[in-house]
Amino acid sequence: MSERKVLNKYYPPDFDPAKIPRMKLPKNRQYTVRLMAPFNMRCATCGEYIYKGKKFNARKEDVENQDYLGIRIYRFYIKCTRCLQEISFKTDPRNTDYEIEAGATRNFMALKLAEEQAIREEEEAKEEEANNPMKLLENRTKQSKNEIELLESLEELKDLNRRQQVVDYDTMLSAYDTSIPEREREEKLKQLDEEYIKTIKFQSNQKRKLVIEEEIIEENFGEPHLKTLKSGSPNSFTATETSESLITTDNMPNTTSAGVSWSKNLGKLGIKKNSSLVRLVKVKKS
């Protein structure tokens, strides 16, 4: 079986490429190429608009006896999409553009016309300066005047820069720098606070005494709570014990036989004579 894709061909030992007959082609042969319209144009026969970028199967040939600095100039033939009128245009290497020849007219291009007008004005100005010495002198005086104005403005800017050199922009930027981490910023603030505290002279520390005023409220004996003690201090308490827990004459032992006075019993119970609890005890009448 032969190869599906022929990569190697057999050449016999007596092969001579000079003996191969050559085709006789015309000197200016036309090739079919695929291209897009290089500019907007309008057909001269039917008035159809052909926009830039429309694709055509065109015929390409060399323009005889025309070149620009050794660069070949090519001609293209296309057909109108509506009336099949043939339109021809060729390359323009001098202006890096295309030039319409027959079959259509190129649409107005403001940018191209403005560029051409600017080039023409420059050429006319150069010719006028070359032919008229007074015009050349006027242009030179204008140029020197513009240079003096530029130098003055440059000196003003230099003076302004000298004045602004007093300001230290590095310290300003470092003060408002957001890239510093929060921890370093907090440490700096703490350090500044400590330094400020050290600069302040405080008064000598004196011990202060708090006086707590006690207020005694007497209640009726008929109520379950006999006495209530109030004070403004946080350690104040309220005596809410019942009559059984308080010292009464009913619960007191009979110490008359032993010859012990009532005052001694108060001492034994741990109640001082001068304390306010002495008034809570009521002596039972015999």
Report the pLDDT value the prediction gives residue 238, as an integer from 0 to 100. Answer: 42
In the predicted structure, residue 266 carries a pLDDT above the cut 50:
no
Pair 109, 39: CB distance under 8 Å: yes
* 46 marked ligand binding residue: yes
Least confident of 23-32, 134-143, 164-173: 164-173
Full-model pTM: 0.41
* 83 marked ligand binding residue: yes
Report the pLDDT value the prediction gives residue 189, as an integer from 0 to 100. Answer: 86
Pairing verdict, β 55-68 and 104-106: unpaired
At residue 272 the predicted structure's pLDDT band, cuts being 50, 70 and 90, is low
Report domain extents, the chain: 27-107, 121-165
Pair 60, 71: CB distance under 8 Å: no
Report the pLDDT value the prediction gives residue 214, as an integer from 0 to 100. Answer: 67
Report the pLDDT value the prediction gives residue 261, as an integer from 0 to 100. Answer: 47
Burial class (CB in 10 A: 0-12, 13-18, 19+), 44: middle
